[in-house]
């Protein structure tokens, strides 16, 4: 099996989506995860609504879905950045489906349809490709760890 020499292969979260972007912990700037991770979204909601760390995910997502102008702007900006990264992956790998895991999966109602709209109605993909299923991981936040446990040595 081919193994990465420096452990940096397939670091999707660190592909650049903003050339003059936010510095990342990896040393680069404008990384995908700085704009489209759930952590980045929660940090932005906390910052814009002046909330502390004591406000947890469920409350933050309720705020995000409250329909206010600010929340809609935050959601739209987040999904725009997510669209850029996913569209790049679609153009690179030509998948039949994209499955999004992590805590994103707990808020499918808030994210999936608007994300599909951005990906498919705005012609974000090569040749306007629209035949890709977008869904959330059934195992939600546990998908990664369960998958890791299933790997045989």
Q: Residue numbers of the site for Zn ion (CB under 5 A)?
A: 14, 24, 26, 28, 31
Residue bearing tokens 């959330």: 136
Closest to Zn ion by CB, 12 vs 146, is 12
Q: How far is the CB of 22 from Zn ion (least distance, A)?
A: 9
Contact 30, 85 (CB under 8 A): no
Closest to Zn ion by CB, 22 vs 122, is 22
Closest to Zn ion by CB, 17 vs 64, is 17
Within 8 A by CB and 6+ apart from 11, the residues are 26
Within 8 A by CB and 6+ apart from 50, the residues are none
Q: How far is the CB of 31 from Zn ion (least distance, A)?
A: 3
Q: How far is the CB of 14 from Zn ion (least distance, A)?
A: 4
Dist. CA 147–CA 133, nearest whole Å: 21
């Amino acid at each position: 099996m081919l193994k990465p020499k420096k452990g940096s292969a397939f670091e999707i979260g660190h592909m650049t989506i903003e050339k003059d972007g936010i510095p990342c912990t990896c040393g680069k700037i404008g990384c995908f995860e700085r704009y489209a991770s759930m952590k980045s979204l929660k940090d932005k909601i906390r910052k814009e609504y002046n909330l502390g760390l004591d406000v947890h995910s469920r409350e933050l997502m309720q705020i995000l879905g409250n329909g206010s102008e600010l929340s809609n702007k935050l959601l739209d900006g987040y999904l725009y950045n997510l669209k850029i990264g996913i569209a790049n992956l679609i153009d690179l790998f030509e998948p039949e489906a994209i499955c999004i895991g992590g805590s994103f999966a707990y808020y499918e109602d808030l994210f999936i349809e608007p994300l599909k709209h951005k990906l498919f109605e705005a012609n974000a993909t090569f040749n306007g490709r629209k035949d890709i299923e977008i869904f959330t991981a059934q195992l939600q936040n546990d998908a990664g760890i369960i998958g890791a446990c299933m790997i045989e040595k």
